[in-house]
Copies of this chain bind each other. A is one copy, B any other.
Amino acid sequence: MIRVKFLPSDRTVAVPAGNTILQAAIEAGVPIEGVCGGNGLCGKCKVRLQMDNTKAEKGRLTPAERKFLAEDDIEAGWVLACQHPLFEDAVVFLRDLKDVHERKIGTADSEKVGLHESSIKKLHVVLKKPSLEDQCADWERLIDALPVGNIAFSRLAASSLPQTLRNGKFNVTAVLDDARLLAVEPGDTTARAFGLAIDIGTTTLAVYLIDLNQGIVLASGAATNPQNVFGADVISRIAYASSPDALRELQKIVVGGINGIIESLTEKTHINISEIYQVVVVGNTTMGHLFLGIDPSFLARAPFIPVFNKAVEVNAGELGLAALETSSVTLLPNVAGYVGSDTVGVMLAVGADRLEGVHLIVDIGTNGEIILVGKGRILTCSTAAGPAFEGAKIRHGMRAAEGAIERVSISSDVEAMTIGSGKPAGICGSGLVDALSEMVRTGIVEGSGRLLDRPERLASLPPALRQRLRTAGGQAEFVLVRGQDSADRSDIVITQKDIREVQLAKGAIMAGIRVLMREMKVGTEEIEQVLLAGAFGNYIGRASSLGIGLLPFVPIEKIKAIGNAAGKGAQMALLSAEERQRAFVLAQRTRHMELSTDKRFQEAFISSLAFDCNSQGKANL
C-alpha cells in the first residue's frame, strides 16, 4: 500500500501501489473534475503531482497525457489523474475550481411556490394518561385520538413512541402523510414542517428546502454530482454500474452528495434533519435508477428499457437520505428511457396541459430533452446532445465555474467576459455558443462549420482577428484568449474539432425539434414561445442560440429562459398531492418519439448540422 495525500483538502488515503490518482481520489472521497469516465478522452482531470523524480514520472506519461498536456505543464508536474498510476507515496494538488453553481439554481430563496395543500399533516393532541383502569397500548391510544382512519403500524414510529409520549406528558404532535404516521414529537410542533425538492442532474445536483406550512423555498443549494468521476454522461455511468457492488457505490455516492447539500441548508436554517417529512425527486431516467440503486443496464442498449417509469415511492431511511427515516421519497414518473421525471417536472412547471397554442420547451443538459405542446398533444423526445455545452470534449471547455469565459463578442477583435474576478481559465457552454455565433456572424466560421482558410476571405477580416486564426498540430484553431491574458498563461483556443462537437450537439437538438414539429405538423411561425429550461438555458445568449441554429428561427422575444423548471416541478409536486397526480397524468398523456428508429431524425440531423441550418432548413419543414 502507498499513501496519497490530496491538497488543498488535506485528505490522505492508502491504496495499493499501481492505482491511478483517480482511483485514490475516489477512495479518499476527493472530487476530481473529469467527464470521460477515466478513459483519458477528455483531459479534464489535470492534477499536479509533487514529484521527487521528474524524469521517472515523465517516462510514465501515457499518450493521452502527452496529448492533453503542454510541455510546460508536464515540466510543472501536471498529469491526468485517470491515466497516472502511483507506485510510491505521493502528494497531489487539485485545481481549486470555486463552485458558482449557487448562483445558477434560478429559484430565489423565500420564493412562494404557489397555492398548495401538502399531504403532510401535523396534528397536536393531548392524550388521556394511562392507568390500571385504562391499559390501552401507546400506539392504539394515539391512533384512536387521531381523526384519521386506517393508520398502519410503523415499527420506526412506534419504537420511540413510549419515551416520546412520556417526555411530552402525553401532549404530543403526530406527523402524518395521508394515513401513514411518520413520527410523534413531544409538545405542539405544528408550526414546523419541512420538505425537500431534489433535481438529480447528470452533472449537477440541486436541492430546495421547503417550508411545507408556508409553501416557500427557505433555502436552496447545488453541487456537482459526485458520480461525475465515473463519466460525464449517463452511458458511462450505466457502464460503470454493471456490477451490484458498483451499483451500490453509485447509489451511495449520489445520496452522499445530496446529503451534503441538505446538511448545509438545514444548518443555515436551523432545521433538524428529522423535521424533513417529505421528499420529491426528479432526474433523468438513469439518475432515477441509480438514486434507487436499481440496475439501469438495459437503458443503455436497444430497445432501451427502464425498470420503472411510473412514479415510485420509497422511504428516506431505505436510501440513506438525510431526512426523517420514515418520510416518503417520491420520484416523479418518467416518460421513457431517455425522457425522465425531470422532463415531467418541466411539464408540470410550465403547465404543459394548460398551455394554449404551440409551445416548444427545450431542456439542454447532458442530454437535450424537447417537449412540443400544441393541438391538444404533448410530444417529447430526447437527443444525445452530449456534454459539449457543459464543457466536455471541448479542448478548453470547463463548467461554469470561476474563470470560465461566459460571454464573447467579436467586432474588430475578441472581447471575452469571465465569471468572477480572475483571468480566464477556459470556456463554458454559454461562452462557447456566444463565441461560435459571433464567429459565424463575422465569417471566421463558415456555415458548414469550417474555420476560415480561404485566402480571399481571410483578407477581408480585421487584422486582429486574422492573427488569431492558426494551425497547430495539423488542426485549424482560433485563439480566443492569448496566453498573456489567461490564468495559466497558455492560449485558450477553439479548435476545428471543438466546432464539430458543437455542431453535433446542436444538430441533434435541432433535429429532435424538427421531428416533433413534423409529427405535430406545425411550422416555425406557429410557435408562440420557446422556453429554455435548465441552468444552461438561463445563461445562453438568446441571439447566439439562434445564431448557431440551435433553435428554430423565431423572433427573439419569443425565447424565454425559465430556470430550473424541473426543480420547480418537483417543488410543486412536493407541495400538492394534486400536482403529483397531475405529473402522473402528464407522463401518461405524453407521446414519446424514439429518435433512434425514426428515419426522419437521420435526415433532419444531417440538415441541422450546418450553422446556417435555419435558412437551409426551412425547406425541409
Contact = CB atoms under 8 A, between A and B. Distances in A.
A306 interface: yes
A135 B305 contact: yes
B153 A305 contact: no
Interface string A139-178: 1100000000000110100111111001000000000000
Contacts of A615: none
Nearest to A292: B155
Contacts of A133: 597
Contacts of A139: 307-310
A596 B307 contact: no
A566 to B, nearest CB: 20
A162 B131 contact: no
B305 A138 contact: yes
A528 interface: no
B295 A155 contact: no
B137 A293 contact: no
B137 A308 contact: yes
Interface string A301-318: 011111111111110001
A513 B398 CA distance: 83
Contact of A309 (B140, B294, B309): B140
A155 B594 contact: no
A459 interface: no
A137 B597 contact: no
A191 interface: no
Nearest to A312: B153
Contacts of A597: 132-133
B135 A303 contact: yes
A381 to B, nearest CB: 12
A87 interface: no
B594 A132 contact: yes
Nearest to A159: B294
A621 B313 CA distance: 60
A419 to B, nearest CB: 40
A310 to B, nearest CB: 6
A453 to B, nearest CB: 42
B159 A308 contact: no
A307 B162 CA distance: 6
Nearest to A138: B307
A234 to B, nearest CB: 16
Contacts of A555: none
Given A158-B294, A162-B297, 12 more contacts: A130-B305, A132-B304, A135-B305, A137-B307, A138-B298, A139-B310, A153-B310, A153-B312, A155-B312, A158-B312, A159-B293, A162-B307
14 contacts: A131-B303, A132-B302, A133-B597, A135-B305, A135-B336, A135-B337, A135-B594, A137-B306, A139-B310, A140-B310, A153-B312, A153-B314, A155-B318, A160-B295
Q: Which 10 A-B pairs have the closest CB atoms?
A: A137-B309, A153-B312, A139-B308, A137-B306, A132-B303, A130-B305, A132-B597, A138-B307, A155-B314, A159-B294
